Amino acid sequence: MATWAIGDVQGCHDELVGLLDKISYDPARDTLWFCGDLVNRGGQSLEVLRLVMSLGERTISVLGNHDLSLLAVAERREEEQAKVNPELRAVLFAPDRDELLGWLRTRPLLHVDRGLGFALVHAGLAPRWTIERAERAAREVEQRLRSPSYKVLMRQMFGNKPDMWSPKLQGIERLRASINVFTRMRFCDIRGRIAFNEKGAPGTQKPGLYPWFEVPGHAPRELRIVCGHWSTLGLFAGLGIYAIDTGCVWGGALTALRLDGEHQELVALKSNRPAPAGKAID
């Protein structure tokens, strides 16, 4: 019986199947945690969604920014859906799209397992959030996503403002700020203000900005945190953070991290995909 966390798949179905074989995944005994961004850019998003959904209740996947973007596009008029890239169109016009998208919409933004001693998130946590505070922020968004009024959120959740979470925020701005933290954050300032345009590796950012997990004076994080989203960071293990987006879709690797046991084991499957010119990192 093992628990494995897997980095951003982004439509790389063949690599995911290969990695599951490499870790000797047993669906009857093992648990999988996915760091979000199951879809987009790898060419096989429909196959990935079908596979991960079929794995059942022992599989946990948090929402990433690409997952939320797909859900938002799904609420637009059909002629607008037809204009997105062919990979996402395959999902949007699949015969089982409603089942797949309904499943995706009910995924969490944050998963916490205190017994195992780990939390799972796509991008990161606000510097002033404890795990408990982060859980409350996640539940607020998840409750709306799973409610009959979720379409209103789908239309209004995108935007760079507010760029910092605050307990004073209300309504859609509060939900949007939480979504931005959970699914888009890499660098921020000492107050937690997100620098959305900074997407490089640590050391490339403007002065006064920090990787979200290195902000001085951040709130105590009583659990270790597994995250993805940041392919230019690459594999990182330190400060209680395990970042495992190793850029499979960009020709890197798809990485699995074993969470149970005394020591964390890493297994990676190298991708044969070429790194595209003018690579976009979001």
Give the pTM. Answer: 0.96
Write down the pLDDT at residue 222.
92
Q: What is the pLDDT of residue 281?
A: 66
**pLDDT at residue 274, as a whole number:** 83
Architecture in CATH of 3-270: 4-Layer Sandwich (3.60)
Helix and strand element counts for the chain (H, E): 9, 12
Q: Tell me the domain boundaries of the chain.
A: 3-270
Provide the 3-class DSSP secondary structure of residue 220.
coil
Cα–Cα dist 15/18, whole Å: 5
Residues 110-124 have pLDDT tens digits of 999 999 999 999 999
Spell 70-81 as b/e; 16+ CB within 10 A means b. bbbbbeeeeeeb
- Determine how many CB atoms are found less than 10 A away from the CB of residue 272: 7
Mean of pLDDT over the chain: 96
pLDDT average per 10 residues of sequence, the chain (282 residues): 97 98 96 98 97 96 98 97 97 98 98 97 98 98 96 95 97 98 98 97 97 97 96 96 97 97 91 73 70
Q: Quick one: pLDDT at residue 27? A: 93
**239, 52, 30: which is closest to 127 by C-alpha?**
239
* Contacts with 142 (C-beta within 8 Å, 6 or more apart), sequence order: 108, 109
